[in-house]
Structure 1
Amino acid sequence: REKIALLIDGNNSGAQPTFREFLGGLTAQELYEELRKQRYEDDDEAPIVNADRRLIYISNLDAWGILALVGTAPESLSRLLGDFMINYICASPSIGVSFSTEGPETFTMQFSLPFRVWRSNNGLMSDNRQKKPSGEPLRASRNATFLRYLGQCEGLPNHTDGIYATTMSCMVTGYDQWRWTGLVLLETWFDEILDDPSPDMITRYENDFQDGMISDPLCRGKDDATRTEWSPRPYFIRVLEIRIVQIYREWTFLFARLDERLKAITRRHKDLITRARVPAKEPREFQSRQAQILREFDEFERGFSELRDILEELAQDLKETVRSGESFMNTDVRYFINYDESEDASLCIPHLTQIRNTFNILEQLGMRLRDMQQKCRDLMDEAVSARKIYRVQLAPVAPSSHVHLFEPRVLAWITILTQPLIITAAIFGCDDIVTFKRNWQNFIIVMIVITVMLVIIVLFVLRLASGQWLFQTTKTCSDHTEDGRYAGEGTRDNIGREWEQQSAPRRTFFTGLVDRVQVQDIRRTMAGTPSARGQVMELEEANPT
């Protein structure tokens, strides 16, 4: 099975520290067997090295690891493991100090801090530990490769950018300053196994041991396990300092990658809006370009929506971490600077200063994250607005729209239909003009008469406005001849055919009146000329009245 744990037992009761044999990486079963062994020397048994200080380091804790811890925990530790495990599994942020009120008198210093990491691996990593009964992974994985493609950033084509949720938990508990246990739970399932393992992997400390050094895994290998603090308070503060700096660096690296992607996306988005405003030169180019621009607008909208969700998750985790740090620095920090209880308080001051500065920087990162969220919202709104404007510009404009004419027509017909009633009421209101008896029968008769008159007037106006009338005729120039041919076809055949295909101007009531007046004038003028009479008769036949 996979090696998940490291165990370092020793004491500092003699002239120099004494340690039990370092076994390297342990599986869950091997850890269970080691923790079952007697921790303190008994006078009736063979001498052993007392494990006054026990350091347990577990990576990617699973069900078997929990069984190894709970199944071998003494009474003082079993009461604390329940809440500690819940904080770790549920990724609940907390930093604090507590003392037992039941059972053995013990102290507990613990922290549990969830955070996010950015990794570029050959594929999206997934946590093998699952929640019951949903079957979902214990920790979430978010594929962020779409940001690289959306911003057209450079990167390894076969690598997947992922944002992974993880949690780091630590507990230091014991009876007094000499007998205590340190436990750290963290995760490395999102890291690829390389030739040079990360400082959180079990193989890293096995390699150090082969080189002749036992590094302290709880302190991330920064300290020698044989020279680290033997007092619980300075040791816990040292672990907290190292781990909070690690968390800060992970957040900083994550924000750097997101900021890089977001700047590239912003540049490409502005370029898209500029291209959308430039007209196409050819119709074929316009159609393909239109489809491409709309596709890019949709891609940006989906990308901004997913990025917004990612930023909300990051903001929640970071805000909870900062709140936990503020609460600790305002309350439980006094336990570590109390000079009356122990002389090791002076050892905690430098580490506490670094911890406070790191939490302040994390708070500033939270402000940057809020600015990034606002920028993402602005870009998303801009993308939606630009796409809508672009679609409106592409929509064809109809020369005459029934939708726009619907309201005026309705209002006009309402006015026409109500006019008879209004006019009749006005007439019946004239006392000096109306001489007949005003009753409802006469009122209806008058209204009917006015209605008929209005209908005639409206029809007359509509016919005039549309250019149609009872006297209108539509004919071609061939109507001027008897057999459908234009006069003079024999001499001008081509011109005649062209005139046959053309329509004569439409004749209306007014043009008929004008023609009649012209005929009368010509008749009076040319009455004495015999040759002109034939032309007048032809004109009368062509324009009958």
Structure 2
Amino acid sequence: MGSSQATSSHLSLPYHWDPEFSTRRNLRYQDQNKPYVVWQRDINPGLNTIALFMNHDDSDPCPYQANSKVFNFCPAARCVEAFRSGGNDLKKPIALLSDSESTLKSRHYKKALTAEELYEALNKPWSVLALAATANNHEAYVLRDFIYHHLAFSAMIRVELPSEGLSTFALCFHLPFYALRNCKRADKRKWPDQQPLRQVEDVSFVKSPAGNNLNSAPKQDHLHEAQISCVVTGWDETVWEAYFFIDLYYDEETAENIEDYEGQMKQLPEQLDADPLMKGTFVGSARSCVRKPREYFLNILRVRVRQVKKEWRYVVTRMEEDIKVGKRFYSPCSQLDGQVRPIRFDAKDARSTRKKFLHWTDKVIELLRKLIEKLDETVEAREKFNAGSIGYFYAPGASTNISKTDHKTLICINEDFAELAGLLRKLELLKDKICEDIPRDISLQFAHENNESAIFQQATARDVKVLTWVTFHSIPFALVAALLSTRAGFLPLPENPWSLIISLLIMEIIVWVTLMLYRLDMEWTVLSSTVGSFS
């Protein structure tokens, strides 16, 4: 009775790990050694390798845009040309292989493989092309979607179990992020239009606005797109494969280069390996340390989420600091000793400064939106995973739950994602604060300009008043000088100093009387209009 209840409870779970995966299944694994493209070539002999690999039936979830993106990134003509020319891309180490089983009789590669050697080792060239040409039916189904999402720079964490055909599993994660470095390292991988696979953006403008002398610094901050992708897929817990893609173009000195791992493996003892998927974590030799797929997937995810969290934390911290520096350059006020004091701008540059400030603000907000969008996508991927696929690892009442150790690993992963959610909130608050501060800063700039304008007008009025009085008092002198400059005998005045003084006094009296009559007339006009308005 207890067994029946447990089975009923297990079957009622919407997400659960099939107990069939826990034991080795009696399957013809030899049939899976024939690549999927070989099967397809018998049906469609006129198609190239990539076209055959992406060819699928209507039940395949791989969308049309996935086909288009993979076709564009890996056109057949370019692959064949590169393979035949034997260029440098084929000679550069790009892969590590580890083939292990429960016995010590297993193939283990202690040497990094070039794309050409990978092609030969797997059975038939060139990263994506090598995988496409060697993947069996089950792997092709998984790799089509996996390669597409890695090229698309998108976030995802999920477990996929096909509802039809052979029962298999695929544990997959894609973690996009931005790496902030003080120099630009362009991605050499190109689309057909010669655009790089991953974009690089100069973000030095955040703390070094146009016109600031910081722009002359030799090192500029650049934001690099990057992604880490992994998929663990197989038929049961004894027969499975793990594929791992990571972008390293932005760090030339990284310890995760294939050449570095190759050097480590040559120096390590036979019973010890550095696992590249777990960022070089030292583990028991692959020939003697066979893991279960869910355990391995969670450990890889834990290590890589922590790596991604570190990059995001650095980006968010730098954005907070750099925005403060950049904003201070444009701010109309400075804070000293807790008091806000205006910065005196040149009136001629006020409009230009305001225009530059608005342009800087638009660029910063656009940058923050891009960061928020990608980080939100990553956090949402975790939430979707916890809402569904987590049941494949742990579900109440399920007999196939992961061990307590793996459950702790799952808790660590959730804690790291919770910190990522906190970083997302910081970016959102930073963007909201900038949007809220724009009207205030612009108002402060206008108020400062109005204050400067009022001071200038007051100074101008004072100067005009002084000039008016000087002109007013100089009128009598000008009139007297004009009268006395006439020829002798024209005026009945003797030519002596007293005549000059009397003439000046008379002219002053005339000017003052005229001014007083003018003021009385103005006041009478104002009084008359006021009385008229009341009546």
Shared fold by TM > 0.5?
Answer: yes
Q: Which residue of 1 aligns with 2:318?
A: 257
2:229 to 159, 169, 172: 169
Distance in 1 of aligned mates of 2:410 and 2:490 = 113
Q: Which residue of 2 aligns with 1:375?
A: 433
- Structure-1-length-normalised TM-score: 0.63
The alpha carbon displacement at 1:20 in A equals 2.4
Q: Which residue of 1 aligns with 2:199?
A: 140
- Which SS does the other structure have where 2:494 is aligned? coil
Q: Which residue of 2 aligns with 1:457?
A: none
Closer, same or farther in 2 for the Cα pair 1:296/1:201, shift >3 Å?
farther
Does the 8 Å CA contact 1:486/1:500 hold for their aligned counterparts?
A: no
Amino acid at match of 1:148: K
- Is 1:129 aligned to 2:189, yes or no? yes
The alpha carbon displacement at 1:308 in A equals 1.1
1:107 to 143, 153, 169: 169
Q: Give percent identity, aligned residues only.
A: 23
Which one has more relative contact order, counting CA pairs under 8 Å at least 6 apart? Answer: 2
- Is 1:488 aligned to 2:494, yes or no? yes
Closer, same or farther in 2 for the Cα pair 1:154/1:225, shift >3 Å?
farther
Map 1:289-438 → 2, pairs under 5 A: 289-291=346-348, 297-337=354-394, 342=400, 345-395=403-453, 397=457
Q: Which residue of 2 aligns with 1:93?
A: 155
Distance in 2 of aligned mates of 1:107 and 1:65 = 23
Q: Which residue of 2 aligns with 1:224?
A: 283
Summarize deviations over 1:278-327 as a string: whole Å, max 9, x none: 697xxxxx8xx445666555444333222111111111111111111011
Task: Tell me the C-alpha RMSD between the 2 structures.
Answer: 4.0
Summarize deviations over 1:88-135 as a string: whole Å, max 9, x none: 1112221111123445432111111221121122xx2222333444x4
Does the 8 Å CA contact 2:93/2:259 hold for their aligned counterparts?
A: no
The alpha carbon displacement at 1:366 in A equals 1.5
- Which SS does the other structure have where 1:389 is aligned? helix
Runs of 5+ consecutive residues of structure 2 not aligned to the other structure: 1-87, 461-478, 518-535
- Which SS does the other structure have where 1:337 is aligned? coil
Closer, same or farther in 2 for the Cα pair 1:343/1:293, shift >3 Å?
closer
Amino acid at match of 1:28: A
Runs of 5+ consecutive residues of structure 1 not aligned to the other structure: 38-62, 281-285, 401-474, 512-545
The alpha carbon displacement at 1:491 in A equals 5.8
Q: Which residue of 1 aligns with 2:250?
A: 190
Distance in 2 of aligned mates of 1:265 and 1:132 = 38
The alpha carbon displacement at 1:161 in A equals 0.9
Amino acid at match of 2:111: L
Summarize deviations over 1:417-468 as a string: whole Å, max 9, x none: xxxxxxxxxxxxxxxxxxxxxxxxxxxxxxxxxxxxxxxxxxxxxxxxxxxx
Distance in 1 of aligned mates of 2:497 and 2:347 = 58
The alpha carbon displacement at 1:337 in A equals 2.3
Aligned residue pair count: 397
- Is 1:8 aligned to 2:97, yes or no? yes
Does the 8 Å CA contact 1:244/1:355 hold for their aligned counterparts?
A: yes
Amino acid at match of 2:300: V
Larger mean CA deviation between 102-111 and 68-77 belongs to 102-111
Q: Which residue of 2 aligns with 1:516?
A: none
The alpha carbon displacement at 1:273 in A equals 4.9
Q: Which residue of 2 aligns with 1:436?
A: none
Closer, same or farther in 2 for the Cα pair 1:292/1:505, shift >3 Å?
closer
Summarize deviations over 1:247-267 as a string: whole Å, max 9, x none: 111111111212222343455
Bigger CA radius of gyration: 1
Summarize deviations over 1:207-247 as a string: whole Å, max 9, x none: 31232253111111113262555211111111111111111
Q: Which residue of 1 aligns with 2:80?
A: none
- Is 1:214 aligned to 2:273, yes or no? yes
Amino acid at match of 1:370: E
1:233 to 285, 294, 305: 294
Distance in 2 of aligned mates of 1:487 and 1:226 = 128
Q: Which residue of 2 aligns with 1:55?
A: none
